[in-house]
Structure 1
Amino acid sequence: MPELDRTPPYLQVVQELRRRIVDGELADGDRLPSVRQIAEEWQIAQATAMKALAALRADGLAESVVGVGTVVRSRRTLHRSAADRLDRALRTGKIYPEGEYAVIKAAEMATPPTWVADLLGLDEGAQAIRRQRVTRNEDGPVSASISWFSADLADTVPALLVPERIPGGTPSAIEAGTGRRAENSVEEASAVFRANADQAEDLGIAVGDPVYVGRNIYSDTNGEILEIGESIAPEGRWKIHRTG
């Protein structure tokens, strides 16, 4: 039986079921435990169990289906955070859950924007490794992103410059090539932007449609930056942050 702590019981249930959804253990269309099952498993009141399922529906991660119960609805609503992808890669060796995959659009040496160059400590005009991808599922694009890496990694992690998917993701490839393990993730979110032509094409939306923009930094145990990324997702997708 899962152990309860001082967090309100319904929130502990919500956090655990969210974790299973974010990790892909519970896939889109899967039936969630019933109110009775949740109440018995966590030894809580059925009213508390109902509150937990209501919170997941409010998050856009589940819906009630007549004759079935509460089912997961995440394919069209969930935008996994960079922290969640890193955590999954380190725990399972796979950065994407079942049903999601990346299409690599570019892997090349390029001049990064000023904010990236500053973080990497590059002189003006210096180049870095740039990887551009679109993450998709059965319904189409989930998000689009660009990652930047120090040019020094070109020799030790040549896969970064190959426009193909890397099994286990870029953090695993960097660790295998250099021994440097991505342990920390910092993530920032901006206000909503309007999609330009390239973003609209990647996400299958109209130019000017609203998009969510986020930035993330992966660093190793010494605090040295391994990867800098910027991602966009279409309107209507929720990024779920979890801790513990």
Structure 2
Amino acid sequence: MPVIERPLPPYMQVIAHIRAQIEAGELRPGDLIPSDRELAKEWGISRVTAQKVLTALKAEGLAESVQGVGTRVREAATKVHHTGRDRAAAVRRSGRIYTPGEYARIVSAELVPAPDEVAAALSIEPGASAIKRVRVTYNKDDQAVSASTSWYDGEFAEAAPRLLEAERIPEGSWAYLENRTGRRAVYGSDSLDTRLATEEDATLLGLTLPAALKESITTLKDGENVVVEYGISISQSGRRSVYEYELDS
């Protein structure tokens, strides 16, 4: 039975729980979401709070009301842009990285000289060896919806050789690196922006230029403040990113 925990407000915890069920495929497009009465009983919250949950899920585009039926998961609920934080949280929460119907292909994995920006992020010398992994994520219709490039210090190549294989790592590359080296990511930051697609971006996502993209730069650090992964993710318009946070009272 789900239990309310602190410090997140109750309605945010319920929203996060239902969102996680959608991401993990436990709730699929068309499935009914519990009513406000059912949520109130299941979580031990007021109906007013339960109604707030359903309203928030609709506002996020995850749910819709159907007269005479109830609140159900929207088809568009799977059209979410997953940042590094999203993927990390999904793995630790459910063991899954992608939403139902999505899959990824690793299009390249190699040791290359680190560009200046990457070298600065990884605290290595410009031009030093860095591991570069490029993946493309596809939807159920086999359309490319996002692409990401993950960078690692080239010194990890010996301890974590699968990072240099153009094959998916089921548990996720950052989790694999953690298991192989003990470098556990405990802190992450995401920087989001929009920009025009380059020719390389267009090739990865099958775009016609000019085209606008959402770009997310993710940095994952271990407990010693050492960067274990630096990633750049791009997605087409129409892919939402959702964040929750508290404000000091």
SS at match of 1:211: strand
SS at match of 2:213: strand
1:208 partnered with 2:213 = no
Within the candidate set 173, 177, 182, 1:174 is matched to 177
What is the aligned-residue identity percentage? Answer: 40
- Please state how far the C-alpha of 1:195 moved relative to its aligned partner: 1.9
Within the candidate set 101, 117, 120, 2:103 is matched to 101
Equivalent position amino acid for 2:156 in 1: L
Within 2, Cα distance between the matches of 1:222 and 1:4?
29
Contact 2:23–2:98 at 8 Å: present in 1 too?
Answer: no
Contact 1:193–1:213 at 8 Å: present in 2 too?
Answer: yes
Q: 1:51 to 1:83 in 2, by over 3 A?
A: same
- Please state how far the C-alpha of 1:45 moved relative to its aligned partner: 4.7
Contact 1:2–1:42 at 8 Å: present in 2 too?
Answer: yes
Q: 1:128 to 1:83 in 2, by over 3 A?
A: same
SS at match of 1:21: helix
- Please state how far the C-alpha of 1:6 moved relative to its aligned partner: 7.6
Residue aligning to 2:130: 128
TM-score (norm 2): 0.84
Within 2, Cα distance between the matches of 1:102 and 1:144?
9
TM-score (norm 1): 0.85
Contact 1:81–1:240 at 8 Å: present in 2 too?
Answer: no
The worse-fitting range, judged by mean Cα deviation, of 168-177 and 2-11 is: 2-11
Within the candidate set 220, 223, 227, 1:221 is matched to 223
Residue aligning to 1:18: 19
The worse-fitting range, judged by mean Cα deviation, of 23-32 and 158-167 is: 23-32
Residue aligning to 1:60: 61
Q: 1:5 to 1:180 in 2, by over 3 A?
A: closer
- Please state how far the C-alpha of 1:238 moved relative to its aligned partner: 1.2
Contact 1:218–1:225 at 8 Å: present in 2 too?
Answer: yes
Q: 1:155 to 1:12 in 2, by over 3 A?
A: closer
1:80 partnered with 2:82 = yes
Residue aligning to 1:33: 34
SS at match of 2:157: helix
The worse-fitting range, judged by mean Cα deviation, of 170-179 and 194-203 is: 194-203
Equivalent position amino acid for 1:161 in 2: L
Equivalent position amino acid for 1:185 in 2: G
- Please state how far the C-alpha of 1:146 moved relative to its aligned partner: 0.4
Q: 1:108 to 1:40 in 2, by over 3 A?
A: same
Q: 1:4 to 1:110 in 2, by over 3 A?
A: closer
List alignment gaps of at least 5 residues for structure 2: none
List alignment gaps of at least 5 residues for structure 1: none
- Please state how far the C-alpha of 1:154 moved relative to its aligned partner: 1.3
Within 1, Cα distance between the matches of 2:93 and 2:48?
34
Contact 1:141–1:204 at 8 Å: present in 2 too?
Answer: yes
Q: 1:119 to 1:138 in 2, by over 3 A?
A: same
Q: 1:188 to 1:68 in 2, by over 3 A?
A: same
Within 2, Cα distance between the matches of 1:87 and 1:30?
23
Within 2, Cα distance between the matches of 1:194 and 1:61?
28
Equivalent position amino acid for 2:41 in 1: E
The worse-fitting range, judged by mean Cα deviation, of 101-110 and 172-181 is: 172-181
1:186 partnered with 2:184 = no
